[in-house]
Amino acid sequence: MSFIEFKDVRKDYQMGEVCIHALYGVSFSIEEGEFVIIAGASGAGKSTILNLLGGMDTVSSGTIRVGDKIVSDFDSKQLTLYRRDDVGFVFQFYNLIQNLTVRENVELAAQISKSPLDITGTLKSVGLLDRENNFPSQISGGEQQRVAIARAIAKNPRLLLCDEPTGALDYQTGKQVLEVLQNICKKEKTTVVVITHNLALTPIGDKIIRVRSGKIESITRNEHPMSAREIEY
Ligand SMILES: Nc1ncnc2c1ncn2[C@@H]1O[C@H](COP(=O)(O)OP(=O)(O)OP(=O)(O)O)[C@@H](O)[C@H]1O
Ligand SMILES: [Mg+2]
């Protein structure tokens, strides 16, 4: 049995008179510890998939299972616990708390977890221990994104979800951030799902799920994924 399963998931958004079919019968599975890339054009439904998987939105129909949890059946209280205990989320624009230091941002996230990782070790793993007492405004965009990753993994989640984590970064910095994500996946056996609209990133994934107009276009596997350091885009 796979770790994660989407079965015929549909998501409609009612906008006044108009009904938008954001997802139109999406099915896929993800193994534990897999590094998954979700790729597709703007508006394809990538964020919708990630938000449903992360318990931040609810399906119109279909089933989402994560481990032994049927997330699509959860009420809002169960979803809160699921988001808190099982999911780490990294957004495109970091979303750090500006008046807390790097360390405090990560500590805050760890505090809400049942089994948090050691803060010093987590900061070290993203290469930011020497910046722990700086405020977000005092570090670069790539460093801020690495704080956001540290914050997400400090909770020790089984599932790390990243929505365009390199979207606001330059080329080299983006590669460093992808490397950090790949390392976490390998070392901690965390299941990592990364959204991108950049097809040049697909060689680094164990599995690539291509989404188009609310449907799965293809699902492919790389037998020998490249390291983020090796790719050019
Ligand atoms: N809260 C919402 N209310 C109404 N429509 C929405 C909502 N969220 C998404 N949609 C619509 O659902 C479709 C899929 O959106 P989604 O955000 O998943 O796309 P995406 O692939 O992440 O695009 P992008 O690369 O631009 O972020 C789009 O047509 C979008 O306008
Ligand atoms: Mg999106």
Q: Which long-range contacts (CB under 8 A, 24 or more apart) does 122-129 make?
A: 122/150, 122/153, 122/154, 123/150, 125/150, 125/153, 125/180, 125/183, 125/184, 125/187, 126/150, 126/180, 127/180, 128/102
> Domain of 190: which CATH number?
3.40.50.300
Range(s) of the domain holding residue 73: 4-221
- Average pLDDT score over the chain: 94
Instruction: Considering only CA atoms, give the Rg of the chain.
Output: 17
Asked whether 15 lines ligand 1 (CB < 6 A), one says yes
For residue 151, report the distance from its CA to the centre of ligand 2, in Å: 21
Give residue-wise pLDDT tens across range 200-224.
899 999 999 999 999 999 999 999 9
Ligand 1 atom nearest to 48, measured from its CA: 18
What's the pLDDT at 20?
94
Do 23 and 194 touch, CB atoms closer than 8 A? Answer: no
Given strand 69-70, what is the order of strands in its sheet? 18-30, 4-15, 61-66, 69-70
Residue 84 lies in a domain: yes
What's the pLDDT at 197?
87
For residue 124, report the distance from its CA to the centre of ligand 2, in Å: 30
Residue 81 lies in a domain: yes
Residue 189 lies in a domain: yes
Give residue-wise pLDDT tens across range 150-198.
999 999 899 999 999 998 888 888 888 899 999 999 988 999 999 998 8
Residue 67 lies in a domain: yes
What's the pLDDT at 231?
85
Q: What are phi and psi of 217, to 5 degrees?
A: -90, -45
Residue 229 lies in a domain: no
